[in-house]
Amino acid sequence: MSGSMQQFFTSADYLLSLPMIMLSLFALGILLIDLMLPAEWKRANAWTALAGIVFSSAAVWKIQTAYRMADSRGQAAAAFLGFGDSLIVDRFAVYFFYLFLAGAAVAILMSVRYLEIERVHHGEFYALILFSVVGMMCMAAGYDVVLIFIGLELMAISTYVLVGFLRRDQRSNEAALKYLLLGAFSSGIFAYGLSLFYGLAGSTNVRTIALKLEEHVRSNPHDPVAILALLTTATGLLFKIAAVPFHQWAPDAYEGAPTSVTGFMSVAVKAAAWAMLLRIFLYMIYPMRPTYVPLLVFVAIATMTGGNLAALAQTNLKRLLAYSSIAHVGYMLLGLIAGTASTASTTGIKGILVYLLVYTFMNLGAFAVITSLRRRDVIGDEIDDIAGLMSRAPTEAILMLFFLLSLAGIPPMAGFWGKYFIFLSLIESGHYLLAALAVLYAVVGLYYYMRIASAMLMRPATDTEPVSMSPGLRLALLITGAGTVFIGIFPDFFLRAANWSLNAPQANAIAALFR
């Protein structure tokens, strides 16, 4: 189904871009309909956005079915390439498409009442979420650095606006400005790195760059230009996943942003950044792995240390979860280190995919509980605000406990499987010291999650007013809670999904080039 260069737009291109077309159409529809809606009908925008997500998911399902049909015919399904080989909707991309859509759907459910309380219930909010998902899809399915970069910017610009959506709130404005400035700076460095790779390879296609780079590295292993290109590209990518020392934007942006947007950023935006990072590290600059693995080891250790130790001292829930999300990035980087250690084992990369999936549910769930604490006069994001939640809202308190245990990686919660595969891959690849360090930090993580749990369960309530829940938020809690417990107890289906996304023949073909 390869896109032909002669024809400008083929039916294959149409199928492959259908999930993005759907989201764009619904986002534009929201912008138009919003103009005509009276203030009390603004909720309709949320339903329109959810409908867009359903249609987009159906389109992704259609692509998935095409793979399944090829499998059942016994053909090794080639990668589905479109738009002159600049778009690759392989199984890896399909997995991430579902992840983005799920994250966006839960974030929309969480937002409805929150935006009403903040009195900023505008249709643009939902349109921006959908546009940022389109950007994420381009990042996950980009096979050309130009498309990857455009996707990144589409996602980033939509998110900058979402972070500053509370226009009258100083914290929100400050967060948006910091995020915008640092984000623009890192995008610049990233684009510089990509331009150097273009200079080295003479192409913007990911596969061509990989092949040219393989030759180049073989003839000139310590070429300063290639190393500079690697360093600048890696800096941009590590900034986007908020790895130490490029993490300074994350706590401020997470604290100031509307809580539902913080949840969305910490799962969907992060997953997109990971999709882009994996695509570039595993597909494009794979020949340079002797150079980048030591760099990743340093960054992973710094990220686990920085994230976990800073989280210990936090009193604000959103800031604490921001630092904890930095620590989780550290664990996932360990998976990448193990995954690039040998081409034979995919456990490390599988660990990252499983981790991102379970993280979507457990972290969004924790943010949904924090969102429920928001009232007209109470911001509700300090640890003191959650004190005594057990007596005010027992269901939310128990769900929060599940999310916290899962974040800490305690079985039988879903978070356990993410950590299990990462640690397993480290042991399989012989990185015993890194595995031991990760275990120590996991216990530190358990400590600060238990601080929240202890405030929730053992301290008396400072605020006795009951927590009122909207139906959307209840549904969001139900989905995330069920996901966290269900994946933990019956992980089989989800592990198979992660395996399916990695067994893509084209991934093996690319790996075979460098064996």
Q: How far is the CB of 443 from another protein (least distance, A)?
A: 5
Which of 25, 446, 478, 485 is in the footprint of another protein by CB under 8 A?
446
Helices 347-372 and 270-278 cross at an angle (nearest 10°) of 170
Residue 218 backbone zone (phi > 0: left; psi -120 to 50: alpha; other: beta): alpha
- Residue 443 in the binding site for another protein (CB under 8 A): yes
Beta strands in 70-130 (DSSP E): 81-82, 87-88
- Residue 309 in the binding site for another protein (CB under 8 A): yes
- Measured from the CB atom, is 137 or 383 closer to another protein? 383
- Residue 509 in the binding site for another protein (CB under 8 A): no
- Residue 433 in the binding site for another protein (CB under 8 A): no
Q: How far is the CB of 324 from another protein (least distance, A)?
A: 14
# of chain residues touching another protein (CB under 8 A) = 17
- One-letter-per-residue 3-state SS of 444-510: HHHHHHHHHHHHHHHCCCCCCCCCCCCHHHHHHHHHHHHHHHHHHHCCHHHHHHHHHHHCCHHHHHH
Site string for another protein, 450-479 (x = CB under 8 A): xx-xxx--xx--------------------
- Measured from the CB atom, is 8 or 447 closer to another protein? 447
Which of 184, 440, 482, 489 is in the footprint of another protein by CB under 8 A?
440
- Measured from the CB atom, is 143 or 441 closer to another protein? 441
Alpha-carbon distances of 363 from 303, 318, 320, 344, 399, rounded to whole Å: 18, 11, 12, 32, 12
- Measured from the CB atom, is 109 or 422 closer to another protein? 422
CA distance 325 to 363: 9
- Residue 444 in the binding site for another protein (CB under 8 A): yes
Q: How far is the CB of 409 from another protein (least distance, A)?
A: 12
DSSP characters over 179-220: HHHHHHHHHHHHHHHHHHHHHHHS--BHHHHHHHHHHHHHH-
Q: How far is the CB of 301 from another protein (least distance, A)?
A: 14
Stretch that binds another protein, among 54-62, 137-145, 293-301, 445-453 (CB under 8 A): 445-453
- Residue 400 in the binding site for another protein (CB under 8 A): no
CA distance 18 to 21: 5
Are the C-beta atoms of residues 499 and 86 closer than 8 Å to each other?
no
DSSP state of 142: B
Q: Where are the alpha helices (DSSP H) in 123-164?
A: 123-141, 145-163
Tokens, residue 196? 């150097």
Are the C-beta atoms of residues 127 and 28 closer than 8 Å to each other?
yes
CA distance 3 to 475: 41
- Measured from the CB atom, is 184 or 312 closer to another protein? 312
Stretch that binds another protein, among 132-140, 225-233, 436-444, 494-502 (CB under 8 A): 436-444
Q: How far is the CB of 319 from another protein (least distance, A)?
A: 16
Whether residue 505 has a cis bond before it, omega within 30° of 0 = no
Q: How far is the CB of 452 from another protein (least distance, A)?
A: 9
- Residue 312 in the binding site for another protein (CB under 8 A): yes
DSSP state of 280: I
Which of 439, 482, 489, 513 is in the footprint of another protein by CB under 8 A?
439
Beta strands in 1-147 (DSSP E): 81-82, 87-88
- Residue 507 in the binding site for another protein (CB under 8 A): no
Stretch that binds another protein, among 122-130, 189-197, 346-354, 432-440 (CB under 8 A): 432-440
Cβ-based neighbours of 170, under 8 Å, separated by 6 or more: none
CA distance 310 to 306: 6
- Measured from the CB atom, is 32 or 439 closer to another protein? 439
Q: How far is the CB of 439 from another protein (least distance, A)?
A: 6
Q: How far is the CB of 454 from another protein (least distance, A)?
A: 5
Stretch that binds another protein, among 219-227, 267-275, 348-356, 444-452 (CB under 8 A): 444-452
Cβ-based neighbours of 490, under 8 Å, separated by 6 or more: none
- Measured from the CB atom, is 310 or 510 closer to another protein? 310
- Residue 434 in the binding site for another protein (CB under 8 A): no
Torsion sign (Cα): 395, 397, 402, 407:
positive
Q: How far is the CB of 435 from another protein (least distance, A)?
A: 11
Interacting residue ranges for another protein, rule: CB under 8 A? 309, 312, 436, 439-441, 443-444, 446-447, 450-451, 453-455, 458-459
